Amino acid sequence: MRLWPLRARRFRGPALVASLSARRAVRSGVIWGAAFGVMTGASALSYDKIYATAALREALARAFGANVMTTAIFGPAPALQTVAGFTSFKVSLTLSILGALWGLSTTTAALRGEEDTHRADLLLAGPRDRVAATAQSLAGVAAGLVALGVAVAVVTLAIDATGPPSLTTAQVVGLAAGVVASAGVFAALGTWTSQVAGTRHDAMALGGEILAAAYALRLVADAGMGLHALVWATPLGWVEEIAPLTSPHPLAALPVVVAAGALTGLSLRAVAHRDVGAGLWARDDAPRRARRPLTGPGALSRRLTRATILRWWIGVAIGGGLIGLVAHTAGQTIGGSSVQEIFSRLGASAAGERAVLGIASLLLAVVVSLLGVGQVAAARSEEAFGHLDWLLASPIARTRWLVERLAIAVVAVVGASVLEGLVTWVTATSQGARVGLPTLLEAGANLVPPALTLTGLAALAFGVAPRATASVGYGLIVWSLLVEIVGGIGALTRWLFDTSVFHFMAAAPAESPHLLASAVMTAIGLTSGALGVAAFARRDVHGA
Amino acid sequence: MSAPAVRIEGLSKHYGHVVALEGLDLDIEPGLVLGYLGPNGAGKTTTIRLLLGLIRPTAGRAAIFGRDAWHEPVAAHRRVAYVTSDVGLWPALTGGEVLDLLGHSHGSFDAAFRDELLRAFDLDPTRRVRTYSTGNRQKVLLVAALMTRADLLVLDEPTRGLDPLVDQVFRNYVRQARDRGQTVLLSSHELSEVEALCDEVAIVRAGRLVERRTLTELRHLSALAIEASFAGPAPDVSAVPGVRALSTEGSTLRCQVDGPLAPLLRALVDAGVTRLTSREPSLEELFLAHYDDPTTPAP
């Protein structure tokens, strides 16, 4: 029998904080890295099968090589006649973004999260100073970064080895380094937002907003608007310029290193000048008279969620607006039967700007789904922090509380979708696109069913296994996105495709919404939500 | 005949192989103030969470004024107010907003009494919860519970973090509540608080109820504490029937005695006692005696 004192031996000495931080970071780094490796290896393997002839590869290159829209959304597509170029196009930007999210999540958990739960107080009450403790936490995150990169490389090479040789070891190591670069710079950003924000939630939200802005800047830089220099103004642009799979450009890693170093240095300075548990940005803690009394759990839920929902709506509007801006120009590059055939693999059976907007709908569906699932995750946080105990000890039915929270999620999703359609129409028509408002509102509404499905499934997880709510909800979104990206230009078995919720969504306005599929998705979402409510009414209330 | 304020029958809660509570039976009559005692992990908070319908019983049932806590929580909670010290409040809300929320959620509250409580507890309701000290957060919860004038107050470690002055204010309002006919279930490690406020005491150990009596009954059943001084060295009275917990320090002797006092008094007089004090044991001594006594049933 293994006793805990034996395990605790690992945590003695000056490296205690680093050990605690590394344990969690390495574990998640290995898991995320392995998933990235599966995605990359599967993509490389699929190339020879799908694009077996030179003619098909040329058609692929014509479809995407100089396509402004796909370059803007998915990143540049050089050398599509090679497996390395193909793999780079399919996975590089996605892995950069997911790696960035890993970096943000890992550092904000290791720094701000430990302060939120007051575990940091216990550690800092020991014989160590705050700067050293923060540096030790970051050393643990660095170990996680190494684990992430190693897992990406090892799993990619292992999967690639099951088929004919395609990617070289140097290319795979370069790809892993690119992922680590993105994760690293955003981990450093998370270190900074952890000093600035007052809670881990706020630190993560601020980091997420900067990531969204970085993506938007990169999109504009790659959108053929003569603003390519902007690529140097965004971390995602730096990683894109490293281009490890096609034309490696190691010097582009310089801004990554400089930015990560600067952010880490600033953060360590900030640690010494702020209170533990407080951010650098002063919060509005002034005494306040109640504007309107909180009359129940519904009013409370609206109060707690409105700022977050508003920020998401603004983000969705900006994203839709940017896509609308480039849709008309990008649509002019789509033509020709072979190119059209390749594009139809992404669901864009139409031509021109409608095809462009149809392809972009996947991205927007992901964003709207994140909003819906995030609302369910927030409900779980209310339970985990013990806030829910106060409401449920009052004469308030559990079902009422959860139904009200889910209703807010539905309103958030529908509002974001309609807003996206409206703003896209405004910007697209401003550039000469000939797409009507009803068409784009319909395309916006088309985002609702998959988002409701994922929100409902997250609610079901909340009812059955509350501690897994966020993992299930966000995991399904990431999985569905990966399946769409890997399968969209490659080949997947039908059953695997069917595991992606987004696979059942039409690429509107490139094609008409699938009314039956939309109805089924909505029904699945509502049924899952109802089952989640029923399960919640029958289970224990669980803390963190 | 009206239903008891609380009726708990064969209540059990298991987490896998871990038994948090086993076969608990407990009635609390309306108007009673019951102290609910036990060491950490004995099952006190589990009992309260089961009573509030926050967790589902593995077996048995709990009811509040005849309403099943799990199956009819809304009806049951209309007559309950709850205070605990180990779960958080919404940090971005002000104390006043929390009071609004919990008051409206309960369905009714006495606004004038709320204002009186705010003054008595010296609480500024315009400040955000995250700026409150631990004690001030606890004050918010006490005001929220008391202002509802609920028929049943369920108080789980209600005074943790409060200074002695505020503790006295709290005790005064609990006494007022009892005088108004409200029922109180008070789980606390502050034995002086329980001693000062409670009509009866229930002691739980390892998930089972091991004692339920009034304080007077407990004292009558328990040993008397004796302290005696002598001109010379203290005698050895260990052979005297009923004497236990004997200790001597120079010319002073301390012990406890069960049953008739006469044999011990005779021995002390024979030894030339110069000063003798006796007193009933404190609740703390009674509580410790229950946990030191190997004959006390445990699962």
Looking at the 3D structure of chain A, how many domains does it have? 2
Query: What burial class does residue A187 get, using C-beta atoms within 10 Å of its C-beta: 0-12 exposed, 13-18 middle, 19+ buried?
Result: buried
pLDDT tens-digit profile of A193-239?
A: 999 998 888 899 899 989 989 998 898 888 777 788 999 999 999 99
Residue A516 token pair: 């039956």
Q: Is residue A83 part of a domain?
A: yes
The pLDDT score that the predictor gives to residue A331 is 73
Q: Is residue A348 part of a domain?
A: yes
Q: Are residues A77 and A174 in the same domain?
A: yes
- A contacts of B102 (beta carbons < 8 Å): 390, 394
Contact B77 A393 (CB under 8 A): yes
CA-based nearest distance A304→chain B, Å: 9
Between helix B134-146 and helix B111-120 the angle, nearest 10°, is 150
Contact B53 A392 (CB under 8 A): yes
B54 Cβ under 8 Å from any chain A Cβ = yes
CA-based nearest distance B222→chain A, Å: 38
Nearest CA-CA partner of A381 in A470, A297, A311, A477: A470
The band of A134, judged by pLDDT with boundaries at 50, 70 and 90, is: very high
CA-based nearest distance B75→chain A, Å: 7
Residue B221 token pair: 């059943």
Q: What does the pLDDT average to over B245-252?
A: 89
Tell me how far apart the alpha carbons of residues A180 and B155 are, in angstroms, rounded to a whole number.
52
Q: Are residues A388 and A244 in the same domain?
A: no
| Domain range for A456 | 295-544
Q: Is residue A517 part of a domain?
A: yes
Q: What does the pLDDT average to over B111-124?
A: 96
Residue A524 token pair: 């699945």
Mutate to test the interface with A, among B101, B108, B154 (most CBs of A within 10 A): B101
Of B89, B106, B131, the CB nearest to A395: B106
Q: Are residues A223 and A317 in the same domain?
A: no
The pLDDT score that the predictor gives to residue A493 is 66
pLDDT tens-digit profile of A479-495?
A: 898 888 776 555 556 77
CA-based nearest distance B257→chain A, Å: 44
Q: Are residues A142 and A171 in the same domain?
A: yes
Q: Are residues A224 and A327 in the same domain?
A: no
Which residues lie across from B274 on neighbouring strands? none
Tell me how far apart the alpha carbons of residues B36 and B33 are, in angstroms, rounded to a whole number.
10
Of A294, A387, A397, the CB nearest to B104: A294
CATH number corresponding to B1-79+151-160+179-220? 3.40.50.300
The pLDDT score that the predictor gives to residue A5 is 47
Out of A220, A252, A282, pick the residue that ends a domain. Answer: A282
**Minimum CA–CA partner of B75 in chain A:** A395
Return the half-sphere exposure (C-beta side, CA atoms, 13 A cut-off) of residue B67.
Answer: 16
Contact A294 B97 (CB under 8 A): yes
Out of A261, A282, A303, pick the residue that ends a domain. Answer: A282
Q: Are residues A247 and A339 in the same domain?
A: no
Please give the residue that has the higher pLDDT: either A531 or A52.
Answer: A531
Q: pLDDT at residue A501 above 60? A: yes
Q: What stretch of H or E contains B229?
A: strand B224-230
User: Three-state SS for A454?
Assistant: helix
Out of A282, A303, A338, pick the residue that ends a domain. Answer: A282
The band of A504, judged by pLDDT with boundaries at 50, 70 and 90, is: very high
Residue A117 token pair: 């739960």
- A contacts of B84 (beta carbons < 8 Å): 389
B55 Cβ under 8 Å from any chain A Cβ = yes
Nearest CA-CA partner of A462 in A372, A399, A377: A377
Which residue do the tokens 């599967």 mark?
A42
Q: Is residue A330 part of a domain?
A: yes
Please give the residue that has the higher pLDDT: either A11 or A154.
Answer: A154
Q: Is residue A5 part of a domain?
A: no
CA-based nearest distance A457→chain B, Å: 23
Tell me how far apart the alpha carbons of residues A450 and A365 are, in angstroms, rounded to a whole number.
7
Q: Is residue A93 part of a domain?
A: yes
The pLDDT score that the predictor gives to residue A333 is 64
- Degrees, nearest 5: CA angle B49-B50-B52: 65
Complex-level ipTM beyond the 0.85 threshold: no
Which positions ≥6 away from B168 have C-beta within 8 Å?
A: none
Residue A540 token pair: 């224990």
Q: Are residues A272 and A230 in the same domain?
A: yes
Q: Are residues A108 and A169 in the same domain?
A: yes
Q: Which of A11-25, A277-291, B192-206 has the highest mean pLDDT?
A: B192-206
The pLDDT score that the predictor gives to residue A10 is 53
Nearest CA-CA partner of A318 in A426, A452, A235: A426
Contact A287 B94 (CB under 8 A): yes
Contact A394 B106 (CB under 8 A): yes
pLDDT tens-digit profile of A25-73?
A: 999 999 999 989 988 888 888 887 778 888 888 888 877 777 776 787 7
Q: Are residues A300 and A274 in the same domain?
A: no
Which residues lie across from A481 on neighbouring strands? none
Contact A387 B78 (CB under 8 A): no
Q: What stretch of H or E contains B11?
A: strand B6-15
Q: What does the pLDDT average to over B175-200?
A: 91
Return the minimum-mean-pLDDT range out of B67-76, B108-117, B224-233: B224-233
Nearest CA-CA partner of B211 in B273, B129, B277, B297: B297
Number of H helices, E strands in chain A: 22, 0
At B144, the amino acid letter reads A
Which positions ≥6 away from A408 have C-beta within 8 Å?
A: A301, A302, A305, A309, A375
Q: Are residues A49 and A104 in the same domain?
A: yes
Mutate to test the interface with B, among A294, A385, A404 (most CBs of B within 10 A): A294
Q: Are residues A308 and A412 in the same domain?
A: yes
Q: What stretch of H or E contains B21?
A: strand B18-28
Q: Are residues A74 and A190 in the same domain?
A: yes
